[in-house]
Amino acid sequence: MRVAYCQGTSPPRINTTPHISFHPLLPMAWSPFLLLSLVSLAFSTPLNRRWDDFVEKHSWGATIPKGWQFHSSPSPDTLIDLRLGLKSARIDELFHHLGQTSDPDHERYGNHLSKEQVEELVAPHTDTVSMVEEWLAHHGYQGSAASPAGDWVTIRLPVKDAERMLNAEYGLYHHPASKDTVLRTLSYSLPRDLLGHVDVVSPTTYFGTFKSMRATSFLMPEVDLDPDAVPPTTCNTRITPDCLKTLYNTANYTQQATNRNSLGVAGYLNEFANRADLQTFLTRFVPARAGTTFTTVRVNGGGDDQNDPGVEANLDIQYTIGLSAPVPNTYYSTGGSPPFKPDSQTSTNTNEPYLDWLNFITSQSSIPLVFTTSYGDDEQTVPPDYANSVCNLFAQLGSRGSSVLFSSGDFGVGGGDCRTNDGQNRVQFQPAFPASCPFVTTVGGTTRTNPEVAVDFSGGGFSNYFGRPDYQSTAVTTFLNALGTTNNGLFNKTGRAYPDLAAQGTGFQVIIGGSTSSVGGTSASSPTVAGIIALLNDVRLSSGRSSLGFLNPLIYKNGGAFNDITSGSNPGCGTNGFTARTGWDPVTGLGTPDFAKLRLVV
């Protein structure tokens, strides 16, 4: 069978739920009829009526998400691949394990779960499986597993049936800025009986997609390089791996566990990491590591065009390798949907890259020990049910012993007019997602050296979806007490606060198409931290211990191992934003990593 959302891998092996089985989809021409006839024997009419008792799952009201325009109604026979996220029966146990294995004071610290153990906890209850099966069968369909544990299921079906099953109305929506066109609905519902069993259905109401996810990097004016200048003086204006190694104290570290170590970069938006540029970069900036290479893994039709180097991709891979070589690095190139053809009878990709990548990566038996991702959306544009499901998938990666890093965003406390999309149109700081997910480690930006200060675009704030996790409660409470009434009403004091830490975010010297550009953004900060975390993993692995895994409980207990950043601010939404201060703050988190101190506490 072909797994629709990924390419180049064997289909997941199935050993779990008996009914939502993992066989290929039956040919559309006859499967509905066959199933319908079987079903009509099994269920009587009164029972079936319950599938018509709908409860709204998520709705944008009558308001089309900002930046999008209604284009047209799809042909009713247009095929789509619906993905259902089924409720995991024991997800609370997964969180419980994660809480213990990531807490440095707990005896189970570092006892990460295996892939199989995670799958046991995220598998849906058999009641959930049979309920969902019954519902699908009632409509003449049969699901096909999209994850080894069976917690994600796909069904290929015509739009008209999806609309009937979800009480939805799909439309083609166009996003002029990105020229993207997607098939979405402004609201969807589920039968009441399914509410406790299905967490999310996609594609439905998540509009922020592939092209509109912003890569948080931007080119800065090129500067003349003086090859004889020595860091850190030049590091005030241009960052090289040597600058970062000096600033963050990794310079003298010799790796010993390279064969067990690994680092992954998640890439989207047709961003390709260029091999020739990496060699030019290494030769110029890290000559001792010249010749180091990386693996590209293509997910869901992601490309690898070596004639089209991406700024983001090159920045990420040059700096993760620049700091962590010879740790094996992998670049994941995740594709989006092919251009959507409104009248086509062929199916359209679900076009939701986080899910594509996450369903792919969670099905792999061996995954990198640290991931960095430099993409994000405004949290309010991500439906809460979708955000929650994606965030739980990041928790799975943490449970397996991987550290998951995200850039905090490049718009301070919020870009644009910062109006809420809840109909009230209030000005409010705009947290970013996945930066706001409590199971990821979010990286803000700094600039200059001696002293290092917050860079003004460093994304930071408080989630409106996720409550404040315990690991940061002391740090954030201390900040809020010091803040007083500043920015009152503009942010959610009970929310998960970010960033967790920070690193340099301006003037990164990156080779793109053979020449040097200066690139900035928290896009640069996240791969920097990923490289340093890989070295910390080496410290642990080389003494026979496990990888660090989910970092936040550890780092909040060791704030002293960071260079506290105490000046600078992150203005936005027509305000001065927040100001960096002693201790944690929503501009630079705990500060920038000091490897020499961190290696003593991991």
Ligand X SMILES: *[C@@H]1O[C@H](CO)[C@@H](O)[C@H](O)[C@H]1NC(C)=O
Burial 538-566 (b: 16+ CB within 10 A, else e): bbbbeeeeebbbbbbbbbbbbbebbbbbb
Q: How many residues bind ligand X (CB under 6 A)?
A: 9
Q: Which of 430, 458, 464, 569 binds ligand X (CB under 6 A)?
A: 464
Phi, psi of 60 (to 5 degrees): -95, 10
Give 224-228's long-range contacts (Cβ < 8 A, gap of 24+): 225/509, 225/516
Angle of the 311-324 helix axis to the 522-541 helix axis, nearest 10: 30
Least distance (Å) between residue 142 CB and ligand X: 37
Residue 92: alpha-carbon gap to chain centroid: 21
Residue 564 counted as an annotated binding residue: yes
**Smallest separation (angstroms) from ligand X to the CB of 545:** 23
Residues contacting 175, CB < 8 A, separation 6+: 67, 68, 69, 181, 182, 207, 209, 211, 212
Is residue 565 part of an annotated ligand binding site? yes
Q: How far is the CB of 510 from ligand X (least distance, A)?
A: 25
The one-letter amino acid code at 431 reads: P
Q: How far apart are CA 538 and CA 542, in angstroms?
A: 6
Q: Examine residue 251 and tell whether it contacts ligand X (CB under 6 A).
A: yes
User: In 167-240, where do the E strands start and end?
Assistant: 170-175, 180-185, 187-191, 198-202, 214-215, 218-220
State the minimum distance, in angstroms, from the CB of residue 535 to ligand X: 13
Per CB under 6 A, does 72 bind ligand X?
no
Strand pairing class (187-191; 54-59): antiparallel
What is the smallest separation between the CB atom of 423 and ligand X, expressed in angstroms? 13
Number of residues that make up the chain:
602
Sole binder of ligand X in the list 494, 515, 543, 582 (CB under 6 A):
494
- Does 381 interact with ligand X (rule: CB under 6 A)? no
By beta-carbon proximity to ligand X, the closer residue of 252 and 307 is: 252
Catalytic annotation, pick one of 134, 316, 377, 379: 316
Quote the least distance from Cβ 452 to ligand X, whole Å: 16
What CA–CA distance (Å, rounded) separates 126 from 190? Answer: 19
Q: Find the binder of ligand X among 436, 492, 537, 592 (CB under 6 A).
A: 492
Does 467 bind ligand X (CB under 6 A)? Our answer is yes
Q: Which amino acid is at 308?
A: D
In the window 581-600, what residues touch ligand X (CB under 6 A)?
Answer: 596
Residue range at the interface with ligand X (CB under 6 A); choices 130-138, 248-256, 292-300, 478-486: 248-256
451 near ligand X, rule: CB under 6 A: no
Nearer to ligand X, 223 or 596 (CB): 596
Find the helix or strand (DSSP H, E) in which 280 lies. helix 275-285
CB nearer ligand X, residue 209 or residue 249: 249
- Residue 585 marked as a ligand binder: yes
Catalytic residue among 144, 189, 407, 523: 523
To the query of whether residue 523 is one of the catalytic residues in this protein, the response is yes
List % helix, strand, coil for the chain (3-state, nearest 5): 30, 25, 45
With tokens 């199916």, the residue in question is 347
Minimum CB separation from ligand X for residue 417, in Å? 18
Q: Indicate if 271 belongs to the active site.
A: no
252 binds ligand X (CB under 6 A): yes
| Eight-class DSSP state of 500 | S
- Smallest CA-to-CA distance from 512 within 335, 293, 271, 263 is with 271
Is there a binding annotation on residue 356? Answer: no
Taking CB under 6 A as the binding criterion, the range among 209-217, 249-257, 290-298, 435-443 that sits at the site for ligand X is 249-257
Question: Nearer Cβ to ligand X, position 318 or 463?
Answer: 463
Q: Which of 495, 505, 520, 591 lies at the binding interface for ligand X (CB under 6 A)?
A: 495
Q: Which is nearer to ligand X, 51 or 491 (CB)?
A: 491
- Using CB under 6 A, list all residues that contact ligand X: 249, 251-252, 464, 467, 492, 494-495, 596
Residue set of the binding site: 564-565, 583, 585
Catalytic residues: 312, 316, 523
Residue set of the binding site for Ca(2+): 564-565, 583, 585
